[in-house]
Amino acid sequence: MGIETFGEALRRLRGHMSLRQVALLTNVGKTHISDLENGRRKPTFAVATVLDERLGANGKLVALASSPPDQPPDDEWEEASELLRRSFLKRGLAAVTLPAIGLEELKHIAAAITDARRYADKEVVAHLECQLDDCAANDRTRGPRQSIPIALGLVAAVEDMAKEAKTDMRRPLLQVGARAAEFLGWLYRDIAMRELASYWRDRAMEWAQATSNFPMQGYVLLKKSQAAWDERDALRMLTLAEAAQQDPWHLPPHVQAEAVQQEARGYAMTSGDMALIESKLDLARGLLIQHQEKTGIAAHYNESLFGLQVAICYCEAGQVERAMELYEQWLSPKAFSRRDYGYFLSLKGGAFVAMERPDSAAVNGLEALALARETNSARTHQEILRLVGRLRPWQQRESVRELRHAVLA
């Protein structure tokens, strides 16, 4: 019996779990998992790390991903890696990490960066997309600071190659660039650098418009609406969520669901009309149910995330008991990355404050603070500071003092 491959180990470890269930553990689609199992795609370190942790592989998947059986000799591999590094430096671009890809593909990418008009093709675009997926998975497990340099390198490579590529390749290159720019907008939002986040969302919109990518344009409007939530700018959040749903964006159903849910939150913060809010949430649920195959933009959006967003909506509408039921139902460390789990814990703490349960709020805040520091999430830090402010009436309680001291430390 031969040595078990990564794909064979993954298939064995997932057992009775469906491909969709495994995909939801990461930030990649069902097709990506299927390709890994069948050897059509080589695993990247970040995706392998997430799968290893979530499937309890005890390092098995990481080891298989790090040591592919067809790895070329070290000197040949290092020579090709150095070629790619020099190609990037020569063009004044940021260096990117090297995934577990074949030697010939590595040489092909280096050639495309040097001579885009001759060598930039679908294989290069596929590699850039794979790198972007890797960045997203890495962000979920390690936070934004490790992903930002890679994403910047991808954008720079796309922009540089697009200047010289043939007309039929310029569009797919810029479409990848739009995805990468939108992702950078998210990364900078997570570290609370609002101006840079806004800049990259605008770049994503520009490239989406240049390639007539209507769904991406609508998606960027939705991301702008969600960024307005950080400032609790209810009117901007509402108007952008409404704009994201209009023609001609043609958003996929699950993205429409997110936009309608965002609109409901805007109404919760402005009018408080529960009949209108419930009608929007019912519409969003129906859209979410329609679409089971979540690939492309917002591939991470699922029932658990929707449930927590509805909880936030109910909190803003003053329906705190209903919000807490949803937090208890959907918020768990198994369903979310550590970064996202910490963020929603901080918001759950706010629900406890509304219920006048300061000790529970402080406990949630302490756990969220530890996760925010571990994953470098300034966005979660901001929510914890907001939570501390709301706990001021109970500032003499021991649990609240402990949270305040931990924040100051």
Note the pLDDT tens digit of each residue in 239-278: 999 999 998 998 999 999 999 999 999 999 999 999 999 9
Of the residues 212, 246, 271, which one is the last residue of a structural domain? 212
Give the end of a domain, one of 143, 178, 212: 212
Question: Has residue 272 been placed in a domain?
Answer: no
Instruction: Judge if 61 and 98 occupy the same domain.
Output: no
Q: Are residues 30 and 129 in the same domain?
A: no
The pLDDT of 173-180, averaged and rounded, is: 93
Interatomic CA distance for residues 105 and 145, integer angstroms: 27
pLDDT of the residue at 40: 78
Kindly tell me the sign of the dihedral angle through the C-alpha atoms of 140, 145, 150, 151.
positive
Domain membership of residue 191 (yes or no) is: yes
CB 250 within 8 A of CB 217: no
- The answer to whether residue 28 sits within a structural domain is yes
Assess if residue 238 is contained within a domain. Answer: no
Distance of CA 57 to the CA centre of its chain: 23
Residues 105 and 202 in one domain: yes
Check whether residue 376 and residue 403 sit in a common domain: yes
Residue 138 pLDDT level (bands cut at 50, 70, 90): confident
Q: What is the dihedral of CA 232, 233, 236, 240, to 10 degrees?
A: -10
Q: Decide: helix, strand or coil at residue 338.
A: helix
Question: So what's the pLDDT on residue 63?
Answer: 78
Shared domain for 118 and 204, answered yes or no, is yes
Q: CA 356, 357, 363 angle in degrees (round to 5)?
A: 145
What are the tens digits of pLDDT across the range 310-322? Answer: 999 999 999 999 9
Q: Same domain for 104 and 165?
A: yes
Residue 243 lies in a domain: no
Residue 93 has a pLDDT of 47
Q: How many CB atoms lie within 10 A of CB 329?
A: 12
Residue 115 has a pLDDT of 56
> In this structure, is residue 395 part of a structural domain?
yes
Look at the chain and report how many structural domains it folds into.
Answer: 3
Q: How far is CA 33 from its chain centroid?
A: 17
Whether the pLDDT of residue 112 is over 60: the answer is no
Which CATH number does the domain housing residue 16 bear?
Answer: 1.10.260.40
Structural domain of residue 1, as residue ranges?
1-70
Picking from 160, 192, 212, the residue at the C-terminal end of a domain is 212
**The residue to which tokens 């040591």 are assigned:** 67
Residues 142 and 64 both lie in one domain: no
Q: Is residue 407 part of a domain?
A: yes
Is 240 among the domain residues? no
Tell me: pLDDT of 341 over 90: yes
Q: What pLDDT band is residue 122 in, cutting at 50, 70 and 90?
A: confident
> What pLDDT is attached to residue 133?
82
Is there a single domain that holds both residue 60 and residue 93?
no
Residues 66 and 90 placed together within one structural domain of the fold: no
Write the pLDDT tens digit of every residue in 28-51: 778 888 888 888 777 876 678 778
Tens digits of per-residue pLDDT, 191-250?
A: 888 999 999 999 999 999 999 999 999 999 999 999 999 999 999 999 999 999 998 998
Q: Are residues 192 and 104 in the same domain?
A: yes
